[in-house]
Structure 1
Amino acid sequence: MSIDCGETEPDLGWTLWPERGDLSIEFLRLMGSAQEGGATAAECRVTASRIDPSNDHSWYTEWMSVADVNYQRGNAALRDGHLLTAKSNWLRAINYYQSAALPFDREDRHYWFATSNMRQCARDYLDCCSPRGEVVRIPWLEGYPLEAYFLPAPQSVRPAPVVVCMGEPGQRKEELLHKVARYARERGMSLLAVDLLGAGTGSEFDEIVGRPDLETALGYVVDYLVERKDVDAGRIAILADGWGSSFVARGIAFDDRFAAAVCDGGIWDLHERAFLAARAPFQPTFSRPDRDFGRVARNIQCPVLIATGERGWLRAERVRELFTQIKEDGRDVTLKIFAVAETAAMQAHVDNPTLANEYIFDWIASRLGI
């Protein structure tokens, strides 16, 4: 069911290709990632100038080309012993490969080739991290394990706090290597970057994305972490990257092992309940929000940060209204809405991820006692 009450369309303020909003938003994401090491502004501008937006293969060819250049440059730097340069080039290649795959279905050979190269870059990057990163598989559904990247905290001689960065349905964990890894590392935290796309190119994902129990993945993730000797099981935080759904909030509502969470905090659940109640006012199945607070928000025990922007998918005033309901129920919840004037105001903060990540990871660090 599509719940659109109170939602807004993303307002870019501009579009590079008015006829292709999807490509314009992706280009804006790439430009925003440049300040995080996921691209360079110059490469993005030059590549965009060569693209025919009416031709998906033109988009694919140009981003694959710049991705290959960065991948090969990284390999050359590794051969010469320049690990930092190698890693920075691989991070950019990951992002460009991801963009190249954007217009294609997961069964398409173009998608498969781009994502396969992207995953190889990620493995090369992890191998050169210090401490070395790991590719791990976490059991979940039968025949469909989760795949994650674990980056240990630097120079840790005792079990370290960890932040789980969970990609929303359809988002890839590889992007998180440039987007959030340094924020965890600089604050002395380990990072587990995980998505729901499984251990392959993601073609099987379409079979499970509609499941009503996606939140069960979180329990398996925590089961894995508490068994690691280098993880402080009492200081596990989770970050839902983008919070385009409620599955992370549902997961933490029924697993009290998280010490802190950055997600929607049950707002989507409350929003959907209000939507249904307004359209079925005489049906006892859909109680009014003031009479039935919502089981997701009610059951969350850990501190929660809700971070969004004025140009996100939900109107800022609607987010504030639902936040007030949660706060009045006695939840330990913090709200941060990034204004258009300060940027980081779009959905998932794609216009300025740096500003959002600084705030988010400072909040996580304070909650974990770092």
Structure 2
Amino acid sequence: MNLPMLPANQQPRYEGQGWTHWPDYPELSLQFLRALGAAQEGAGTISECFLAASRMVPGDLESWYQEWQRVADVNVRRACAALAGGHLHTAKANFLRASSYYRSSELFLAPNDSRRGETFQKILANSHAYLGLISPIGEILSVDVGDGTTLDAYFLKPSSGATCWPTIICFGGLDGSKDELLAKMPRYALSRGMALLLVDMPGQGGTLRRRFTVNRADSEVPVGRCIDFLLTRADVDGERIALYGASMGGIYSARAASDERRIKAVVSDSLTFDIHAELQQRLSHPDASMWMHLKWVYGCETPQEVVEKSRDFRMSDFIGKIECPYLIVQGEHDFLGLQTALDAFHFAKTRAVPVELKVFDAEETGASHCQADNPALGQEFICDWVAEKLDIKQSISAC
């Protein structure tokens, strides 16, 4: 499948939302920006990203898949050679980059494309190899939801300090996964003395691809089971558990916190206040490529069914019930818009929710969706905020 061919009338340039590689193809440009942001955090290299892009045909999704696969394969070979030679740090770095590049390659494949499953297995293989080389070793888990469904998850904890850790449960968005969060979260949370439970919620990552579990509005149920699991661990401080969700995950996190009182702080890193209204407006473009992914995630046959199911995800139905500290983060140039975050913030304020709003603007950078153009700024702010709410004191010795 190719994107519609548009007249090439603009050169690559830096804009408010960050680097725009193909101005005529905003969706591809956003995903390339996402890859650059991951590279900034160690899940890629800038030169390899630009090399892959230089070999792509703008608008040709097959070339997008092939070129990310190509650079990912190079990193796998490099990682295996390093591992065989005992160069563990180089192997670890290359396994993480390979996982991220494979993730990029998979983005635009149809759900029924056999390469989607094959590529996801490559993502997992490289993520798991990476987890086996970090210290402490990352744990590969499954969390039983109790209704016949299971969540895929990773658990990571700091390398030194306490033996009982405050913990953040984290998940991504509509096309996010725990594997993408491996580069985004650990550097900032672990260094501040917080453990991480990275989770594929229903409709995400391996929970969707391997277990065929579509999304659900009652996110408090799977999140509650994640908390139940954490409370069985002697290395988790059960009185200091926070929740982070990005994009669609920002809706899931707020819904879960509205019902689950064991959560002590919650973050929505970009959100859509009324996703039903947003998708209703987009019905005028029923053949748009986004509907292919939405139908898969929602488990629906038609765009109209997706819209109807999305009624249950409207944040006005639950955001006013949040009692713990709540942070909304949105970029000035988020493709979802800024107003949707302002609406959520003001609605929560009028319901006496202890809510805060952080807007990243173009002058500061981080103004794209989930700070894709500069994820370091977003994670610094978010993890500092969570650490404050969980009463974690940072020390010079831990820096």
TM-score, normalised by the number of residues in structure 1: 0.84
2:72 pairs with 1:71: no
Structure 2 Cα separation of the partners of residues 201 and 110 of structure 1: 15
Give CA deviations for 1:303-352 in whole Å, capped at 9, x if unaligned. 11111111124543553354234224322111100111111111111111
Partner SS, residue 145 of structure 2: strand
Structure 2 Cα separation of the partners of residues 268 and 304 of structure 1: 14
Q: 1:254 to 1:266 in 2, by over 3 A?
A: farther
**Partner residue, 2:193:** 188
Structure 2 Cα separation of the partners of residues 245 and 152 of structure 1: 23
Q: 1:25 to 1:181 in 2, by over 3 A?
A: same
User: Letter of the aligned partner of 1:121 in structure 2?
Assistant: N
Return 185-194 or 324-333, whichever deviates more. Answer: 324-333
2:34 pairs with 1:29: yes
Aligned-residue CA RMSD (Å): 2.8
Structure 1 Cα separation of the partners of residues 113 and 363 of structure 2: 40
Instruction: Assess if the C-alpha contact under 8 Å between 1:218 and 1:251 holds in 2.
Output: yes
Structure 2 Cα separation of the partners of residues 15 and 323 of structure 1: 29
Q: What is the percent sequence identity of the aligned residues?
A: 39
2:348 pairs with 1:343: no
Q: 1:368 to 1:265 in 2, by over 3 A?
A: farther
2:148 pairs with 1:126: no
Structure 1 Cα separation of the partners of residues 69 and 367 of structure 2: 29
User: Letter of the aligned partner of 1:202 in structure 2?
Assistant: R
**Partner residue, 2:49:** 44
2:345 pairs with 1:323: yes
TM-superposed deviation, 1:204: 5.3
**Partner residue, 1:111:** 116
Structure 2 Cα separation of the partners of residues 361 and 122 of structure 1: 23
**Partner residue, 1:369:** 391
Partner SS, residue 376 of structure 2: helix
**Partner residue, 2:377:** 355
TM-superposed deviation, 1:354: 0.8
Give CA deviations for 1:4-28 in whole Å, capped at 9, x if unaligned. xxxxxx9757643345332221111
Structure 1 Cα separation of the partners of residues 390 and 90 of structure 2: 32
Unaligned runs of 5+ in 1: 1-9, 277-292
**Partner residue, 2:325:** 303
Structure 1 Cα separation of the partners of residues 17 and 23 of structure 2: 11
Structure 1 Cα separation of the partners of residues 318 and 30 of structure 2: 31
Unaligned runs of 5+ in 2: 1-14, 281-314, 393-399
2:247 pairs with 1:236: no
Q: For 1:67-216, what aligned pairs fall within 5 Å after superposition?
A: 67-140=72-145, 142-196=147-201, 197=204, 199=206, 202=209, 205=212, 208-209=214-215, 211-216=216-221
Paired residues, number: 342
User: Letter of the aligned partner of 1:71 in structure 2?
Assistant: V
User: Letter of the aligned partner of 1:188 in structure 2?
Assistant: G
TM-superposed deviation, 1:245: 5.3
Structure 2 Cα separation of the partners of residues 13 and 166 of structure 1: 24
Partner SS, residue 247 of structure 1: helix
TM-score, normalised by the number of residues in structure 2: 0.78
